Chains A and B, each alone.
Chain A
């Protein structure tokens, strides 16, 4: 059995132990802190009991063709780093939620289709690697991982990500490459500590305009997306409904509407303000999608999507985004 550190499993080198010597290792086991049982392809038997390994804080079980998480791990309450990389797991047992000391969990290269909910209880997690699975969606409760710094989700089947991702303010690296994302939620811009955002190999055509607010961003990958490059004619605006037109009048003129039926009140509450600073307009369902190119990284024009109330706003000389001080500063930094 060889030492294997080919994934983001561990950075140390001690504690390689031959499984056949486990029976004789009692004196050693009690003090062992790191254990590697990585077979690199061959099936391995997990030790029958981990109870001897009371102080174990690092365990590498990668490449063992495991179809389920060994039940003996329930005894490893002190575990801080666990790798189950490159096995054949399709789910995680409920008791995994008890491994409360986990800081790093590597589940890459398995067959996980649904995001295992027990992970959400591991609130001390800093680094979560789930690349190369078949995840189809993320739970909206993902923001329960309030200490997460690295979230690796590359190489899955994600079509979208939940808005709650924007609540994960401790994130420094978000890897979403090689998925099927069609759009990013605006809330991504709330991740003020993000240093790295990998979005290559998706189905993105534009990015939310708020992304220019990510001032800490140092690494952004956009290749292999069908990104709009040249200026495109704005998409045809849908003819507004009578309800929309009436609501616009009520809203722009600030007419009181508290006595209206609940459905209409709720509708009026959804008013959006046109981003054109020269326009005082509001819109509800009917809006123009306007793509504006912003110099990003000093080298590339990134297509940002924002909404205007009408074609008139898109075409006029006032169609520029308001030059907020923050945006100006960011551009100065990016353009060196």
Chain B
């Protein structure tokens, strides 16, 4: 059964409205998401409103926030009966992601702690896959916008809107963000800003449901960001 997610706006926007008066806790957020996604048709605005209604309280999500000193981590919280992946991402000082797409899925991101910077890119027009690239095929990717995401704010992106890189630019503060991907995916594409080269990248979890993922496949591939 696939879930259809509709949305009115095609622009990537960062919700800057103040918190609604009736804010919910983490458990209510999880339950609310399960209910919304149990239906066949889901509205993007509804999901965003629900995520906005949650006021971040570290005590509630601390058990999922497992950091690594070298790289940002993905910690699976909930799969909503396989409809979505709800993930807590932990970013140490200076940690950032590659430029990536969202595998035809919808992506919601909410800040739980600290600040993240998001840089959005246009899809590369040079169709270069893999490692071999000729000089004449190299084309720098075009940046189309940047924004910062502060605690409790929510943003949304999907492939039709472009690609993005997310990073914690702070040298003193760590950051934690909550991501929802629907439908769930286990691999996506990463891109090189300087050349437009694209390659596939598996999505791995540092912890699942609060427990260290011992089946974590240590990828022999080096990530160039």
Contact = CB atoms under 8 A, between A and B. Distances in A.
Interface of A: 5-8, 11, 13, 85-86, 108-109, 127, 129, 131-132, 149-150, 152, 154-155, 172-173, 175, 177-178, 195-196, 198, 200, 217-223, 227, 229-231, 295-302, 333-336
B96 A300 contact: no
Interface in B199-224: 199, 219-224
A219 B225 contact: yes
B131 A152 contact: no
B221 A129 contact: no
Nearest to A6: B173
B173 A7 contact: yes
A218 B93 contact: no
- Tell me whether chain A's interface is mostly helix, strand or loop, or mixed: loop
B79 interface: no
A172 B135 CA distance: 34
Residue of B93, B172, B223 with most chain A CB atoms under a 10 A cut-off: B172
13 contacts: A6-B113, A6-B173, A11-B67, A108-B172, A132-B170, A152-B171, A155-B171, A218-B70, A218-B219, A221-B96, A223-B193, A229-B195, A300-B195
Interface string B164-195: 00000111111000000000000000101111
B171 A222 contact: no
Given A7-B174, A132-B170, A299-B131, 19 more contacts: A6-B114, A131-B94, A132-B171, A150-B70, A154-B94, A155-B171, A173-B69, A177-B94, A178-B94, A221-B96, A223-B225, A296-B222, A297-B222, A299-B224, A300-B197, A300-B224, A301-B195, A334-B220, A334-B222
A15 B222 CA distance: 40
A334 B130 CA distance: 12
Contacts of B174: 6-8
Closest 9 CB pairs of A and B: A131-B171, A132-B171, A155-B171, A109-B172, A297-B224, A196-B70, A108-B172, A221-B225, A297-B222
A301 B220 CA distance: 18
A70 B206 CA distance: 38
A155 B131 CA distance: 32
B57 to A, nearest CB: 12
Contact of A300 (B62, B94, B194, B221): B194
Contact of A230 (B138, B192, B197, B222): B138
Interface of B: 58, 62, 67, 69-71, 92-94, 96, 113-114, 130-133, 135, 138, 140, 169-174, 190, 192-195, 197, 199, 219-225
Contact of A152 (B94, B135, B169, B222): B94
B94 A175 contact: yes
Contact of B224 (A8, A172, A222): A222
Contacts of B171: 108-109, 131-132, 152, 154-155, 178
B61 to A, nearest CB: 13
B194 A218 contact: no
A87 to B, nearest CB: 11
B101 to A, nearest CB: 14
A150 B170 CA distance: 17
A248 B165 CA distance: 51
B69 to A, nearest CB: 5
A129 B222 contact: no
A144 B92 CA distance: 26
Contacts of A297: 221-224
A7 B114 CA distance: 10
B71 A85 contact: no
A237 to B, nearest CB: 23
A85 B69 CA distance: 17
A198 B70 CA distance: 9
A328 to B, nearest CB: 15
A325 B225 CA distance: 27
Nearest to A85: B172
A8 B93 contact: yes
Contacts of A221: 96, 224-225
Contacts of A150: 69-70
A227 B194 contact: yes
Contacts of B225: 200, 219-223
Contacts of A127: 69
